[in-house]
Amino acid sequence: MKQKKRIGIIFGGRSCEHEVSLASAASVVQNLDAEKYDIVPIAITKDGAWLWGVEPQQLLRAVNDPMLATEIASSPVVTLVIDSQSRRFISINKAQPLPANGELDVLFPVLHGPYGEDGTIQGFFEMANIPYIGCGVLGSAAGMDKEIMKELFQAAGLPVVKTLTYRRLEWEREPEHLIAMIEHQLAYPCFVKPANLGSSIGVSRANDRDQLIKAMNEAFTYDRKIEVEQGINCREFSCAVLGNDEPSASVVGEILPGDEFSDYEDKYVNHTIQFVIPATIPTETAQMLRDMALRAYQALDLQGLSRVDFFQDKVTGRFYINEVNTLPGFTEMSLYPKLWAASGLAYSQLLDQLIELALRQHETRQQLRSYR
């Protein structure tokens, strides 16, 4: 009988996208084929502790259940041991040994935002020489930083909406000068975004100077670097990409926001966002967006998976690439798995492919002299 692969699902984390990660991980655990895999959930609490065997739903319920929270706190706290003979998780408390010596075949970091999607944990896994799902260190870091991401898009000949980037120190020293520069180069409305966050957290639309000042102050509470982007009257589209060096693109979907733009409340609280899959656009337009998605994927040296988002100016008809999401939402209601389902790849099959891609990428790394 073929031995099951042990898949470690790592979720939670220290970023402000913690709750989004729990919802994504719960869907992943539910849809992994238990006949093929032994599933090991590993929860990262908001204060950074790694807990072995804690389910995503447990962490969600513990917010309003003090007894469950106490029970979770007694779970084995683990760390990853890396030496010449062992690359495995161990319990910090010797009285709580882990089953199967804490060894895992593949890690799936279902982590959104900083410390999970930005290359930090990917570097940790590569140092441990453990296969993991998703983009590598460079692609994850470049895909998280909106300034670097857009510079790479432009270098690859991909059109982006006009965007200005500022650091917190500039804002603290010369706020009036920055506002004047923005108003000189952009028109209202404009959007202000933290450079290194997802899920639309910290994103604001500014229709005038007062709203712009408020938006800048808000965004700088999340990041030391922010983006101010020209607002356009647009349609929003998305395409899912899957693969390593020979990636494939899904059908194109359209995003219909419930308000002026798709903010955090729209996506995760009110659930007013809607998707049209496949998008009602000409076949040649859909193919153009699929081609642009693949070019973006390769420009950032991505592997495993990513979702690529686009704008279309309703006035000019011109398309712009907005961003890549190197670890998009993974609930069954999320756009990434929906796009692949519409392309003929069911959720559980998508997870199978991601695991296979992780193993292949790890095998490729082992063939390099620098990894020996």
Least confident of 114-123, 290-299, 302-311, 314-323: 114-123
**∠ Cα 198 272 276 (to 5°):** 85
The one-letter code for the residue type at 305 is L
DSSP for 91-118, please give it: ESSTTSPPGGGG--SEEEEE--STTTSS
pLDDT at 264: 45
Q: Is 151 exposed, middle or buried (0-12, 13-18, 19+ CB in 10 A)?
A: middle
> 229 - beta bridge partners?
163, 191
> 80 - beta bridge partners?
89
Phi, psi values for residue 112, rounded to 5°? -110, 140
Max CA separation in the chain (angstroms): 70
- What structural domains and CATH numbers belong to the chain? 5-132 (3.40.50.20), 143-158+233-365 (3.30.470.20), 163-230 (3.30.1490.20)
pLDDT at 150: 97
Q: Rounded mean pLDDT of the chain?
A: 91
Phi, psi values for residue 236, rounded to 5°? -120, 135
> β-strands 248-256, 234-243: how paired?
antiparallel
Q: How far apart are CA 59 and CA 43, in angstroms?
A: 8
Q: Count other Cβ atoms within 10 Å, centred on residue 282.
A: 9
Per-residue pLDDT of 197-236, as tens digits, reads 765 788 999 999 999 999 999 999 999 999 999 999 999 9
> β-strands 190-194, 204-206: how paired?
antiparallel
Residues 6+ away with beta carbon under 8 Å from 118: 140, 141, 144, 145, 196
Per-residue pLDDT of 6-39, as tens digits, reads 999 999 988 888 888 999 999 999 999 999 999 9
pLDDT higher than 90, residue 268: no
Q: Which two tokens stand for residue 145?
A: 């930083």
Q: How far apart are CA 306 and CA 296, in angstroms?
A: 10
pLDDT at 175: 96
Q: What stretch of H or E contains 175?
A: helix 175-185
Q: How far apart are CA 241 and CA 294, in angstroms?
A: 7
Q: Count other Cβ atoms within 10 Å, centred on residue 165.
A: 17
Q: What stretch of H or E contains 151?
A: helix 146-155
Q: Which two tokens stand for residue 116?
A: 């999970």
> β-strands 5-12, 106-110: how paired?
parallel
Three-class SS of residue 39?
strand
Range 342-347 average pLDDT: 97
pLDDT at 367: 85
Q: Which two tokens stand for residue 160?
A: 């982006």
pLDDT at 114: 85
To the nearest whole percent, how much of the chain has pLDDT over 90? 72
Q: Which two tokens stand for residue 352?
A: 């199978």
pLDDT at 269: 47
pLDDT at 257: 83
Three-class SS of residue 344?
coil
The one-letter code for the residue type at 205 is R
Among residues 89, 92, 71, 70, the alpha carbon closest in space to that of 81 is found at: 89
pLDDT at 265: 47
Q: How far apart are CA 192 and CA 94, in angstroms?
A: 49
Residue 289 pLDDT grade (very low, low, confident, very high; cuts 50, 70, 90)? very high
Per-residue pLDDT of 60-93, as tens digits, reads 888 788 888 888 888 999 988 876 666 788 888 8
Q: How far is CA 340 from CA 252, 263, 335, 351, in A?
A: 10, 23, 9, 11
pLDDT at 291: 98
pLDDT higher than 80, residue 134: yes
Answer with the residue of higher pLDDT: 257 or 296: 296
pLDDT at 270: 44
pLDDT higher than 90, residue 260: no
pLDDT higher than 90, residue 372: no
Q: How far apart are CA 212 and CA 190, in angstroms?
A: 8
